[in-house]
Every structure is written in structure tokens, then in C-alpha cells.
Amino acid sequence: MKQLLNRTFEGTLRVPGDKSITHRSLMLAALAEGRTEIHLPLKSEDTYRTMEIMRAIGADITESGDIWIVESRGHAHLHSPAGPLYTGNSGTTSRLIIGLLAGLGLEAEFSGDDSINRRPMDRVQRPLLDMGADIRLKDEKYPPVHIYPKPLKAIDYDMPIASAQVKSAVLLAGLFAEGTTVVRESSPSRDHSEIMMKQFGAELSSKDGVISLTGGKKLTSADVTVPGDISSAAFPLALAILKPGTSITIENVSLNPTRSGILEVLEMMDANIEIETLPGDGEAIGNITASYTPELRGFDISGEIIPRLIDEIPILALLAAYSNESCTVSDAGELRFKETDRIRAVVDELSKFGIRFEEKEDGFTVLPGEIEPAAGTAVKGYHDHRIIMMLIIFSIVSDTPLNIDDTSAIDISYPGFINDLESLRKDA
């Protein structure tokens, strides 16, 4: 990483494919009769966990360079796995698979790594029990999760939290439930499941936060091209804004409005960014250019924007530290249930450099002030990809070598992160 310090960066990058869309494409392609090609999938630890699980229940998936091919004779050919499943570090795999397995009426058991085994699964279990599923959890909350075959009925579900994982689990189960499943969202969460289910022929409509899905409709294959992941793009974009002499363009990245809250905050901060939308009929995509911005305004965000930038909050905290004004994030208590408690992690690690935080149960305020980077400071990544990548961007922006305990979790969502940054070095 030393090779990235005391440099400036310039150029164009394609970040890896969207993680949320890749997970969903593997699941839906396995349910849909026919051959699906998934172009430019994210090849990362988390998405391979979903691929292995889909194979363990009978999906035929082959990899051919940047295309994954799923050949399916339809959902009826999927079967209970021969042994326990493993979801690794992936919350999306864990939550969505509960809905999928319950919907298919399969018997299965799964657990994950230490982080997943501490993440709550009862949020998905509750609505599925209402649908008639039989799902058992350790201490009524955590993996190992056991799922037993039961027929499902549609429900009308008022979401108590804004969670795309819960919504998607209910919808995946709803594909096989008797009747029309209705999900009511209080704040919009990412809608990739809804978009893709329609592409695969599901009888689904969505309006003003109310999603209706009629069970029993046969899905048919549809090719998917995965756009770049805006959650990954956020790191090089932050680098461009914070590093003097730097300008970076990210091409073909998802601009889905349920994901692009970060761009709205960058605009609030008066950051130098340009967004070019590209034509297309599925997921919104475009190119984003960000450049060094010496004076950054503050922000105060809460409410409906939070689910639209939830995974970008660690890197937003770093941007906030460089603002001349105070920056507040509220209504983001969900951050405490991610790979690690991301509020704690951000506050504990960035405080080591004189960055002043007021921590709250549901967020934090970053106060303006001097940053005091000290070479060789020991920092912890908590085996959380987003915390680690934020710390690496801080190290590069402040030209300070840091002693990060373990960076291997980068591979959860962005293998090639360091290489991509190297490709942008002005002298590369």
C-alpha cells in the first residue's frame, strides 16, 4: 500500500459488479426455466457463497470469464441440500436464502462466519412465520438457521424497519405462496429484487412504497448485465474529492435512486462531481466524475435517505472529517447490525487521529477540526470490508502509513481494490 502514498490519481475506472444485483441474479436465474447469462457479475467472497448454496440445492451454474451461465429446468427441480450450508460473511445471502428455501419448501440448515452468527435473523423469520413457514433460530435470533418444509400463504406486511434484505426474503417466499403478498415500506430500500423479478416474469407491481406479488407464476430466464457497484465506487470517489490534484471517473455504475443517496450528500457538500446518465431500460446506470474539492460543506442527514446510502456511511464519515462544518448522521441505528457495529468502528478508529465525534445510538456528528495523522498508528478493520477500505482511503489521502490489523476482508465486496487504485496513479 506504500506505493499509493504521496501520489495523485487520475483516470477512468470500472468498479466490480453490484453485489446486491449479483446475489439476486443467481437466485432468480436458478428459479427461472431456461438459460440465463449473468454478464459482469461481482466475483467476490460474498457472491461465491450464494453461488455455492444455489449449486448445493441443484442449480447448474458455470463460469465463463465475465459471464456466469445458469441453466434451469425450473424451481421444481431444486432440492434440499445434502448437508449444512455456509453463508460466510454475507448478510444478503443469509437473509435472502431463508425466504427462498422456505418458499421452495426445502429442508436446510445454515450458519456463517463469526460475524454472521451474531447478526439477527429473526427480522426475516417473523414475517415468514406469519406466512406459515417453520424456521428455527439459535436463541430465537441467530444462525444456525433451520428451515423445514411447510406450505406458505401470502401476507400483507408492514415493514417495521427499512431493510431490502427483509423485503427480498418476503418477496422470494411470496413467489411460491398462495395468494398475493403485499409489502409496505415506510422508506424506500434498494429495489433490485422488484426490478429483476419483473424481468423474470413475476406478477409484481410496485407503487408508492407498496409492493404486490402474486404467487405461483412461472419464472422464465432473462439475461442480466450487472452494473458497477456504487457502494464500491464510493471509495475512489472519496479519494478523488479529498486528494489534491486528483480526478477520477467511474464508468457504468449503478445510479438506481434507491442506492444513490451518497451522490445527493456529495452535492450537499458542494463536492466537485459530475453525473452522466446512460440510456437503458433496466437498472439506471451512468458515469460519475469526482475531483479534488478544497472546501467541503457540512450535512445533516436522517430519515428516508439513510437506507439509500446505508453502506456508504463509513466512507461518508471520512469525508465529513475533512469538512469545514459539522456533519450529522441520524436514523442509522441499522449500522450497529452490519458486519460489525459500524458506528462504533468508525468512531473508535477515526478518533485515533484527533477527529472529534459525538456518538449517538443511531448515528454520529463529526465536528470540524484538525486531523492529526500519525504514521504507523495501529487501526482495526474488524474484518469489515467497508471499514477497511475507508481506512485505506484515509491512509492514502493523509499520506500516512497505517498499521491495519487485517485487510483480507476487502475480498468480501471488492477484490482488486488496491490494484484499481494503483491503475489510477498519475505516474502509473
Ligand X SMILES: O=C(O)C1=C[C@@H](OP(=O)(O)O)[C@@H](O)[C@H](O)C1
Ligand Y SMILES: C=C(OP(=O)(O)O)C(=O)O
Q: List residues with catalytic annotation.
A: 311
Verify binding: residue 44, ligand X, rule CB under 6 A: no
Q: Is 73 annotated as a binding residue?
A: no
Q: Is 163 annotated as a binding residue?
A: yes
Verify binding: residue 329, ligand X, rule CB under 6 A: no
In the complex, minimum distance from the CB of residue 75 to ligand X, in angstroms, rounded to a whole number: 21
Binding interface with ligand Y (CB under 6 A) = 19, 46, 90-92, 311, 338-339, 386, 413
In angstroms, the CA 276 to CA 222 distance is: 27
In the complex, minimum distance from the CB of residue 191 to ligand Y, in angstroms, rounded to a whole number: 16
> Which segments of 280-371 does DSSP mark as H helices, in order?
313-321, 342-350
DSSP letters along 392-405, please? Answer: HHHHHHTT---EES
In angstroms, the CA 196 to CA 402 distance is: 41
| Residue number, 225 or 232, with CB nearest to ligand Y | 232
Q: Is 384 helix (H, G, I), strand (E, B) or coil?
A: coil
What is the separation, in whole angstroms, between the first and last Cα of the chain? Answer: 14
Q: Is 8 helix (H, G, I), strand (E, B) or coil?
A: coil
Q: List the one residue from 17, 20, 285, 293 that touches ligand X (CB under 6 A).
A: 20
Verify binding: residue 334, ligand X, rule CB under 6 A: yes
Number of residues that bind ligand X (CB under 6 A): 10
Written as one letter, the residue type at 219 is: L
Question: Looking at residue 351, what DSSP letter applies?
Answer: G
Q: Is 49 annotated as a binding residue?
A: no
Q: Is 342 annotated as a binding residue?
A: yes
DSSP letters along 197-253, please? Answer: HHHTT-EEEEETTEEEEETTPPPB---EEPPBPHHHHHHHHHHHHHSTT-EEEEEEE
Pairing type for strands 356-360 and 327-329 reads: unpaired
Q: Which does 413 bind (CB under 5 to 8 A by kind): ligand Y, ligand X, none?
A: ligand Y
Q: Is 19 annotated as a binding residue?
A: yes
Verify binding: residue 87, ligand X, rule CB under 6 A: no
Verify binding: residue 49, ligand X, rule CB under 6 A: no
Q: Please give the annotated binding residues for phosphoenolpyruvate, written as ranges.
A: 19, 91, 119, 165, 342, 386
Q: Please give the annotated binding residues for 3-phosphoshikimate, written as ranges.
A: 19-20, 24, 163, 165, 311, 338
Binding site for ligand X (CB under 6 A): 20, 92, 163-165, 168, 190, 310-311, 334
